[in-house]
Amino acid sequence: MPELPEVEVTRRTFAERIRGARVQAVRLGQPLRWQLGVAPEQLLGRTVRTVGRRGKYLVMELDEGILLLHLGMSGSLRFETALPAPGRHDHFDLTTDRGVLRLHDPRRFGAVVWAEDLDADVALRLLGSLGVEPLSDDFHPQAFHDGLKTRRAPIKQVLLEGRLVVGVGNIYASEALFLAGIRPTTRADRLSRPRSDRLHAAIRQVLGRAVERGGSTLRNYYNASGEAGRFQSEAAVYGRAGQPCLTCGAPVRQIRQGQRSTFYCPVCQRG
C-alpha cells in the first residue's frame, strides 16, 4: 500500500499546481471506505489554498473546509490539465480551472472526506491518534526512546501501529530495522538508548531516501504526474527472501508479523 514516502511524493507532484485552483465540478464513482460527508455541489466555487500531509493522509485546505484524502491499499492520485473519461476504478474527480484531480483505487479502501477544519470530529477520528511525523523536527531521539520503553510488543509492530511515530509502513520498517541492526521481533522496551538512537536515525534516513527516489512502486503506485517510484530497486531486505544479504551474504529471511511479511538478515540483525 502507499506509505508515507509515496503520499509525500504524490503531494509534491501536484500541490503547487493546484494551489489557487477553483473547483468547477465534483464527480463521485463507487462508494469508498467513508462517505464524502458533504453534498458534492457544496464544493463548487471553492478555492484550493494548500495541500499538506499528516501521516498517510493528504490534507487539502479549501477557502471553506478541508478535504482529507487517503490512498488506501492500492490507490493513486493523478492531476492533469485534462484526463480521459473515468474508468470503473476511478472513484473521485475534482475538476478545477487548473486541471482534474482523480483518485484511482481498484480495491476501494481509499477515501475522500470533507471536514470543517482539523478540529472537527471526523478529522479528529482520522488524525487524532497519529504519532509524530518522522521527518519533522518534532521527532526527537529521547522522546522516541521514552515511548519505546512503554511498549512490550515487537519493535516492527510498534512502528507499524503509527501511534509513536507515524508513516513507517511495512517496507520502510523492514529497511530501517536492517539499517539499525535490530531484529524485527525484538521487544520495543528492551532497546537501549544507543540502539533506539540508531533506529531513530535509520527511520529518518530510509524515509528521506525513499522520498528522494519517488517512493516505491511494487504494483500500481504512481505519483500525481503518472511516474513510478524507484526506491524498491535499492531495498536491502524487503522482498529479497532467500537472496544473499548485501552486507554479509547470509540468506535474507521472511516471517509473518501481524499478517504482514517481514524481511531481515539473521546475521546483521542478531537482536
DSSP state of 94: E
Instruction: Summarize the confidence of residues 63-74 as an average pLDDT.
Output: 95
Instruction: Report residue 239 as a C-alpha cell.
Output: 522482498
pLDDT-derived band at 253 (thresholds 50, 70, 90) equals very high
Backbone φ/ψ region at 37: left (φ over 0), alpha (ψ -120 to 50), beta = left
Q: What is the pLDDT of residue 102?
A: 97
Instruction: Summarize the confidence of residues 118-140 as an average pLDDT.
Output: 96
Strand partners of residue 22: 47
Coil, strand or helix: which one is 99?
strand
Percent of the chain whose predicted confidence (pLDDT) is above 90: 87
Please identify which of the residues 17, 46, 53, 56 carries the catalytic annotation. Answer: 56
Q: How far is Cα 127 from Cα 111, in angstroms, rounded to an integer?
A: 13
Q: What is the pLDDT of residue 58?
A: 98
Which tens digit of pLDDT belongs to each residue from 27-48? 999 999 899 999 999 999 999 9
DSSP state of 58: E
Q: What is the pLDDT of residue 73?
A: 86
Q: What is the pLDDT of residue 230?
A: 81
Q: What is the pTM of this model?
A: 0.93
Active-site annotation holds for 3: yes
> Mean pLDDT score of the chain, rounded to an integer?
94
Active-site annotation holds for 190: no
Q: What is the pLDDT of residue 241?
A: 97
Q: How far is Cα 195 from Cα 173, in angstroms, rounded to an integer?
A: 15
Nearest to 171 by CA among 259, 221, 232: 232
- Give the C-alpha distances (Å, rounded to integers) separating 193 from 14, 92, 142, 179: 39, 46, 8, 16
pLDDT beyond 90 at 163: yes
Torsion on CA atoms 90, 95, 100, 104, rounded to nearest 10 = -20
Active-site annotation holds for 194: no
Which domains are present in the chain? 4-127 (3.20.190.10), 141-264 (1.10.8.50)
Please identify which of the residues 19, 27, 187, 260 carries the catalytic annotation. Answer: 260
Instruction: Summarize the confidence of residues 62-67 as an average pLDDT.
Output: 97
Instruction: Report residue 187 as a C-alpha cell.
Output: 521487544
Least confident of 113-117, 140-144, 165-169, 211-215: 211-215
Please identify which of the residues 3, 6, 8, 175 carries the catalytic annotation. Answer: 3
Strand partners of residue 104: 76, 90
Which tens digit of pLDDT belongs to each residue from 74-97? 899 999 999 999 999 999 999 999
Instruction: Summarize the confidence of residues 171-197 as an average pLDDT.
Output: 97
Q: How far apart are the first and last CA of the chain?
A: 28
Active-site annotation holds for 161: no
Which tens digit of pLDDT belongs to each residue from 200-240? 999 999 999 999 998 887 666 787 788 888 888 889 999 99
* Residues ≥6 apart with Cβ < 8 Å to 147: 164, 165
